[in-house]
């Protein structure tokens, strides 16, 4: 047996279970359309909720060089400082940049809670939050999703503002204010709350730690953490995924900086998104589909039909892949549609037509 045959065997097992993954290459045509396998498709699974990846100001900002090192060595640039200042002006608290939301969540969860702390983590939290907690020496308790009454005594409580696979917003104002609250606003930034500050701001709640990303409604990549001044200083000194990694390249930071005024002011885009979401959700109900959540992430749970339904959608020119374990639980496979402010009404109707009535 060859030394690497064990990997091949594992791959076969994944393949047999229908769980082998592969990437699909999309060549964007515009904010909601792309060429996939030589055909034009409507993209119904992008996180570019407000179309900023194609916004002229964001695209024009994409200039600069690689950062050449960690922020703490050679990699800190004026554009990073300008971006942190713009976030501070937006959120009213010091901000620290990270290369991605994954890095930000690893740093927050592996640095803040320490041995002896109890961390309550929502059962549907994103893999990056789970992985951060796995690196922590604190005790984890997994609490029922979106159920404030299920949280016992804890030092920290970790939630998402808008859940990435279920599309729902937990009742943030109903949780106990005892634990320090950490909220990941990856999918709510720019879309919910005053000036797009997220689900917590929409609920009138100020978390102790807010994490948000520029890779979704921000239209580029990277992430930030905001909170009291000690948070920034502590993460800078002890957050391993801040310290031991190359800083955001200048063009990415510049795109994020250009996105902020649009995200803060995007009331026309937010309104158009709400209109399109309503049209899509109404259409789904009329077809007999039951969608989760109430916002721009619109999952329909179809179990083992997810991959065949996704193939049917693609046949009709709509790209929305099936979501399988381990991203979601076995039996809860789904199509996770995402709606953008830039989908036209006609495109929304075409997605509905491609889906057809529920069986
Ligand atoms: C809730 C949540 N947090 C964090 C991340 C990671 O963000 P990023 O893609 O910037 O690494 C994601 C995205 O994939 C997410 O859905």
138-161 confidence digits (pLDDT tens): 999 999 999 999 999 999 999 999
Tokens standing for 127? 């893999």
Give the per-residue pLDDT at 359.
79
Mutating to test ligand 1, I would choose from 106, 128, 182 the residue with most ligand atoms within 8 A of its C-beta, which is 128
Q: How far is CA 60 from CA 56, 63, 74, 85, 171, in A?
A: 6, 8, 26, 21, 39
Residues in the chain: 359
Decide: 111 in ligand 1 pocket, CB within 6 A.
no
Which protein residue's CA is at the shortest distance from atom 3 of ligand 1? 186
Give the per-residue pLDDT at 258.
98
31, pLDDT greater than 90: yes
Tokens standing for 289? 């589909």
Tokens 């991959």 belong to residue: 307
55-96 confidence digits (pLDDT tens): 999 999 999 999 999 999 999 999 999 999 999 999 999 999
Residues of the chain with CATH 3.40.640.10: 55-265
Instruction: Give the residue numbers annotated as catalytic, written as ranges.
Output: 47, 126, 160, 164, 184, 187, 216
Domain 18-50+267-355 = CATH 3.40.50.300: no
Specify the pTM. 0.97
Give the per-residue pLDDT at 144.
98
Tokens standing for 98? 């990270």
Which protein residue's CA is at the shortest distance from atom 10 of ligand 1? 101
Tokens standing for 296? 């721009």
Choosing among 1.20.1640.10, 1.10.10.10, 3.40.50.2000, 3.40.640.10, the CATH entry for 55-265 is 3.40.640.10
Phi then psi dihedrals of residue 40, to 5 deg = -80, 135
19, pLDDT greater than 90: no
**β-strands 209-213, 180-184 pairing:** parallel
Give the per-residue pLDDT at 300.
97
Average pLDDT of the residues in 9-17: 95
Q: How confident is the model at residue 116 (pLDDT cuts 50, 70, 90)?
A: very high
Contact 137, 114 (CB under 8 A): yes
Which protein residue's CA is at the shortest distance from atom 7 of ligand 1? 101
Contact 263, 218 (CB under 8 A): yes
Q: How confident is the model at residue 1 (pLDDT cuts 50, 70, 90)?
A: confident
Give the per-residue pLDDT at 102.
98
Rounded distance from Cα 128 to ligand 1 centre (Å): 7
Q: Omega into 326 within 30° of 0, i.e. cis?
A: yes
Average pLDDT of the residues in 265-294: 96
Give the per-residue pLDDT at 18.
84
Give the per-residue pLDDT at 193.
97
Q: Between these two residues, 17 and 219, which has the higher pLDDT value?
A: 219
Tokens standing for 5? 């045959």
Rounded distance from Cα 213 to ligand 1 centre (Å): 7
Give the per-residue pLDDT at 352.
98
Average pLDDT of the residues in 17-28: 92
132, pLDDT greater than 90: yes
Tokens standing for 290? 């039951």
Decide: 126 in ligand 1 pocket, CB within 6 A.
yes
Mean pLDDT, the chain, whole residue set:
97
Tell me the chain's radius of gyration from C-alpha atoms: 21
Contact 186, 126 (CB under 8 A): yes
Give the per-residue pLDDT at 10.
96
In the chain, the N- to C-terminal Cα span, in Å, equals 47
Decide: 102 in ligand 1 pocket, CB within 6 A.
yes
Give the per-residue pLDDT at 292.
97
Give the per-residue pLDDT at 297.
98
Distance in angstroms (rounded) separating the CA atoms of residues 279 and 353: 13
Residue 132's DSSP bridge partners are none
The closest of 124, 131, 195 to 161, measured between CA atoms, is 124
The percent of residues in the chain predicted with pLDDT above 90, rounded, is 96
Residues of the chain with CATH 3.90.1150.10: 18-50+267-355
Q: How confident is the model at residue 266 (pLDDT cuts 50, 70, 90)?
A: confident
Q: How confident is the model at residue 225 (pLDDT cuts 50, 70, 90)?
A: very high
Give the per-residue pLDDT at 236.
98
Give the per-residue pLDDT at 301.
96
* DSSP SS3 for 183: strand
Tokens 């619109």 belong to residue: 298
**Structural element, H or E, at residue 299:** strand 297-301
């Amino acid at each position: 047996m060859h030394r690497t045959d064990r990997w091949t065997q594992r791959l076969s097992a994944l393949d047999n279970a229908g769980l082998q993954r592969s990437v699909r290459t999309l060549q964007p045509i515009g904010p909601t359309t792309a060429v996939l396998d030589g055909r034009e498709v409507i993209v119904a699974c992008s996180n570019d909720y407000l179309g900023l990846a194609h916004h002229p100001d964001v695209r024009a900002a994409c200039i600069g060089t690689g950062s050449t090192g960690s922020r703490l060595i050679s990699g800190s640039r004026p554009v990073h400082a300008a971006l942190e200042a713009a976030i501070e002006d937006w959120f009213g608290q010091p901000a620290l940049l990270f290369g991605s939301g994954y890095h930000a969540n690893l740093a927050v969860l592996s640095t803040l809670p320490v041995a002896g702390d109890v961390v309550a983590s929502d059962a549907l939290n994103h893999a990056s939050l789970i992985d951060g907690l796995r690196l922590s020496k604190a005790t984890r308790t997994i609490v029922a999703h979106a159920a404030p009454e299920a949280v016992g005594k804890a030092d920290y409580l970790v939630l998402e503002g808008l859940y990435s696979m279920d599309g729902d917003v937990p009742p943030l104002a109903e949780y106990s204010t005892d634990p320090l609250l950490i909220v990941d606003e990856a999918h709510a930034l720019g879309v919910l709350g005053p000036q797009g500050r997220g689900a917590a701001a929409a609920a009138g709640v100020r978390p102790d730690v807010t994490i948000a990303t520029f890779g979704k409604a921000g239209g580029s990549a990277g992430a930030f953490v905001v909170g009291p001044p000690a948070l920034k200083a502590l993460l800078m000194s002890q957050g391993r995924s801040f310290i031991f990694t190359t800083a955001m390249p200048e063009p990415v930071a510049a795109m994020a900086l250009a996105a902020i005024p649009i995200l803060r002011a995007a009331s026309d885009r937010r309104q158009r998104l709400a209109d399109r979401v309503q049209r899509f959700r109404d259409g789904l109900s009329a077809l007999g589909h039951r969608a989760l959540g109430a916002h721009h992430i619109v999952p329909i749970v179809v179990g083992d039909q997810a991959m065949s339904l996704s193939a049917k959608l693609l046949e009709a020119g709509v790209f929305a892949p099936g979501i399988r374990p381990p991203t979601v639980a076995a039996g809860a496979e789904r199509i996770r549609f995402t709606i953008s402010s830039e989908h036209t009404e006609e495109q929304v109707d075409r997605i509905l037509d491609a889906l057809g009535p529920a069986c």
